[in-house]
């Protein structure tokens, strides 16, 4: 079982949107995915509830309802039961004390950030916490305007790259809110669209990082066996 966590300093950056997109893409590849929604606003849970209201089979992604102080023990139980291949953790904005422990158990962290100076200036606290946890992470630029304001993205990438890696750029696409309204993801709602193409690129990046992490964990075990 691997854990992909989101982390962010601000609300509305697209974390829940990307959590849903990645969860659905991973499930389509046959992974058993479990969402964990730590945000009291519960966007991910509400979307999941609408999506699964009339489900006849066990939904994949599943949703694990967990209070933050129970999370580490629930993750251990999911791991021991072999109940999921990938757990995706969505988070509230800003830095909460309990998040450091979660980051330490995560295999990879994605930090969605809009390409604005206000967003960049908010990053140091959350990045500091991630670095303290030693979990590998990457930024993903979200809601980047297309067209004339494209310069904001050109400027964002070097600013972010000074602090960490940038997975990719997700542009402002109406397919995301439209898909959410239909309890879907962009890849389901408009599979041939640009939003879908961009999130597939993000999933490719994350999948490679998760495989690296798995290989790194297998290494000591292989050495011990030889
Ligand atoms: N790339 C995007 N393009 C257009 N709208 C987006 C994009 N990402 C998110 N949104 C919209 O912005 C709002 C906030 O997104 P959400 O994923 O809930 O952010 P967060 O979980 O970080 O608070 C939602 O209405 C969502 O549909
Ligand atoms: Mg959210």
Give the tens place of pLDDT for each residue, 5-44: 999 999 999 999 999 999 999 999 999 999 999 999 999 9
- Could you tell me how many helices (H) and strands (E) the chain has, helices first? 10, 7
Q: Which two tokens stand for residue 118?
A: 């206000």
**What number does the ligand 1 atom closest to the CA of 39 have?**
21
Q: Distance between terminal CA atoms of the chain?
A: 24
- Alpha-carbon gap, residue 140 to 168, rounded angstroms: 5
User: How confident is residue 188, by pLDDT bands cut at 50, 70 and 90?
Assistant: very high
Q: Determine whether the shortest distance from the Cβ of 20 to ligand 1 is under 6 A.
A: no
Share of the chain above pLDDT 70, in %: 97
Q: Determine whether the shortest distance from the Cβ of 185 to ligand 1 is under 6 A.
A: no
- Among 43, 52, 35, residue whose Cα is nearest residue 180: 43
List of E strands, 40-107: 62-64, 86-90
Q: Does domain 2-225 sit in CATH 3.40.50.300?
A: yes
How do the domains of the chain map onto residue ranges? 2-225
Q: Which two tokens stand for residue 40?
A: 């009291």
Q: Which two tokens stand for residue 214?
A: 């798995």
At residue 162, the pLDDT reads 86
Q: Which residue has the higher pLDDT, 224 or 183?
A: 183
Query: Which strand (E) or helix (H) includes residue 37?
Result: strand 33-37
CA 14 to centroid of ligand 2, rounded, Å: 7
Q: What would the mean pLDDT of 144-157 be, rounded to a whole number?
A: 75
Q: Whose CA is closest to atom 11 on ligand 1?
A: 177
Q: 33 and 52 in contact (C-beta within 8 Å)?
A: no
- Alpha-carbon gap, residue 194 to 173, rounded angstroms: 8
At residue 156, the pLDDT reads 84
């Amino acid at each position: 079982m691997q854990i992909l966590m989101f982390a962010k300093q601000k609300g509305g950056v697209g974390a829940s949107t990307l959590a849903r997109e990645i969860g659905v893409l991973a499930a389509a590849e046959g992974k058993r995915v479990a969402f964990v929604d730590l945000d009291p606003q519960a966007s991910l849970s509400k979307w999941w509830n609408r999506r699964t209201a009339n489900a006849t089979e066990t939904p994949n992604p599943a949703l694990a309802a967990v209070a933050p102080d129970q999370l580490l023990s629930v993750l251990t139980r999911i791991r021991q039961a072999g109940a999921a291949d990938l757990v995706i953790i969505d988070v509230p904005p800003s830095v909460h004390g309990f998040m450091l422990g979660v980051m330490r158990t995560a295999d990879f962290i994605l930090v969605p950030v809009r390409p604005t100076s206000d967003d960049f200036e908010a990053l140091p606290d959350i990045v500091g916490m991630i670095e303290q946890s030693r979990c590998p992470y990457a930024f993903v630029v979200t809601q980047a305007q297309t067209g004339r304001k494209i310069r904001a993205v050109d400027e964002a990438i070097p600013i972010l790259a000074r602090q960490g890696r940038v997975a990719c750029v997700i542009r402002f696409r109406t397919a995301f809110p439209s898909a959410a309204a239909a309890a879907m993801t962009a890849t389901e709602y408009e599979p041939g669209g640009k939003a879908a193409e961009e999130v597939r690129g993000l999933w490719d990046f994350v999948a490679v990082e998760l495989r690296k992490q798995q290989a790194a964990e297998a290494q000591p075990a292989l050495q011990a066996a030889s």
